[in-house]
């Protein structure tokens, strides 16, 4: 196995309502690739799903999605970037359009219906997860009324208390254990964006290059004392060219400050996950 260089590029630390950035690099054993990690305390930031169709201006109308790297052209995103903001790709899009592939709830409003397609069971598979029929998009990222992010198994009853939600998949880690199978020989490696809960912290990870999903899930579930991300639960949000992030610091309004891009982020999307400081009470 190759070494993993995990670049912890930005950690959002909630301290007296402000956020500071920590940057570090460290070597990791057992997984190929590098990942950028963004981390903050759950409930201490405003977390919302943004529908690309709702963000587009009249001259941008049509069915085309917007990539992470194209997001600053949206007036709302441009405003958000004047202060601290983390924007990562949302879930999968329907062929690069602004139509989500799966459930999307943005600010309490249902934008897209769930994807109820299933993957057939393979009773002869050596992997337990393939031996049962399962949802194609098996996970749900949900933000309830209290503003805390949760990652759940998708079901038709799983999203009724969500103010923000996106259906995605697969679930990579459940109850601290790897929840995916080793890849088949014909499967490719892809760039990935993953949402993870580790104790009371949210981690959003964007890989810098394609990774083996099973190996990456192993590292995500590994305890911090063993060099892992210590995720109790983790969800794959998207993959390939759609995977990417933008981070702007809290003093981004100053002249000369530019957004920092991470990952590929070139493929058009239907939604973004946006993290911003809570509004003053």
Query: How many CB atoms within 10 Å of residue 199?
Result: 10
pLDDT value of residue 253: 67
DSSP labels for the chain?
---EEEEEEEE-EEETTEEE---EEEEESS--EEEEEEEEETTSEEEEEEEHHHHS-GGG-SSB-B-TTTGGGSHHHHHHTTS-EEEEE-S-BSTTBSSBSS-EEETTEEEEPPP--EEPP-TT-SSGGGSS-EESS-EEEEE-TT--EEEEE--TTSSTT-SEEEEE--EEEETTEE-SPPPPTTPPPB-EEEEEEETTEEEEEEESS-B-HHHHHHHHHS-GGGTS---SEEEEEEEGGG-EEEEE-TTTTSTT--PEEEE---S-BSEEEEEEEPPP-
**What is the structure's pLDDT at 10?**
38
Please, what sign has the CA dihedral across residues 98, 144, 218, 68?
A: positive
Dmax (CA) for the chain in angstroms is 61
Report d(CA 1, CA 60) in Å as an integer.
46
Note the pLDDT of residue 181: 87
CA distance 233 to 220: 9
Tokens 């949402």 locate to 195
Q: What is the pLDDT of residue 33?
A: 65
Given this model, what pLDDT does residue 255 score?
62
**CA atoms within a 13 Å half-sphere pointing along the CA-CB vector of 97:** 9
What residue has token string 């192993």? 218
In which band, very low, low, confident or very high, does the pLDDT at 256 lie, cut at 50, 70 and 90? low
Q: Mean pLDDT throughout 254-261?
A: 76
| Each residue's pLDDT tens digit, 6-58 | 333 333 333 222 233 233 333 344 445 688 999 999 999 999 999 999 999 88
Please give the Cα distance from 78 to 70 (Å, whole number): 11
Cβ neighbours for 51, distance < 8 A, ≥ 6 positions apart: 98, 100, 104, 106, 111, 270, 271
* Angle, CA 46 vertex, CA 43 and CA 47 arms, to 5°: 90
Give the CA count within 13 Å in the CB-facing half-sphere of 98. Answer: 17
**Among the ranges given (121-130, 171-180, 235-244), the one the predictor scored with the smallest mean pLDDT:** 121-130
How many Å apart are CA 249 and CA 251, to the nearest integer?
5
pLDDT tens for each residue of 75-119: 999 999 998 899 999 999 888 899 999 999 999 999 999 998 888
| Calpha distance 275→99 (Å, rounded) | 22
More confident residue, 278 or 235: 235
Asked whether residue 276 carries a pLDDT value surpassing 70, the answer given is yes
**What's CA 113's distance to the chain center, in Å?**
19
**pLDDT tens-digit profile of 169-223?**
999 999 999 999 888 777 889 999 999 999 999 999 999 889 999 999 999 999 9
Residues 6+ apart with CB under 8 A from 227: 26, 28, 29, 219
Q: How confident is the model at residue 128 (pLDDT cuts 50, 70, 90)?
A: confident
- Could you give the CA distance from residue 208 to residue 264 in angstroms, rounded to a whole number? 7
């Amino acid at each position: 196995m190759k070494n993993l260089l995990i670049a912890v590029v930005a950690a959002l630390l909630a301290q007296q309502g402000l956020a500071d950035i920590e940057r570090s690099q460290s070597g990791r054993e057992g997984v190929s690739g590098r990942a950028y990690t963004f981390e903050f305390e759950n409930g201490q930031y405003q977390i919302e799903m943004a529908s690309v169709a709702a963000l587009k201006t009249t001259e941008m109308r049509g069915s085309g999605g917007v990539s992470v790297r194209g997001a600053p052209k949206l007036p709302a995103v441009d405003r958000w970037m004047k202060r601290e903001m983390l924007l990562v790709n949302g879930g999968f899009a329907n062929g690069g359009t602004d139509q989500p592939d799966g459930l999307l709830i943005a600010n309490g409003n249902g934008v897209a219906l769930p994807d109820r397609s299933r993957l057939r069971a393979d009773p002869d598979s050596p992997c337990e997860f393939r031996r049962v029929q399962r949802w194609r998009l098996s996970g749900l990222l949900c933000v309830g009324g209290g503003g805390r992010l949760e990652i759940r198994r998708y079901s038709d009853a799983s999203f009724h208390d969500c103010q923000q939600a996106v259906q995605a998949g697969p679930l990579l880690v459940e109850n601290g254990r790897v929840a995916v199978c080793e890849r088949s020989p014909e499967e490719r490696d892809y760039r990935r964006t993953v949402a993870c809960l580790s104790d009371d912290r949210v981690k959003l990870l964007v890989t810098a290059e394609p990774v083996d999903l099973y190996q990456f899930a192993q590292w995500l579930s590994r305890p911090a004392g063993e060099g892992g991300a210590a995720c109790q639960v983790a969800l794959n949000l998207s993959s390939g060219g759609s995977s990417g992030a933008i981070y702007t610091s809290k003093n981004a309004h100053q002249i000369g400050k530019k957004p920092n891009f991470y990952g590929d982020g070139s493929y058009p999307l239907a939604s973004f996950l946006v993290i911003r400081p809570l509004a003053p009470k």
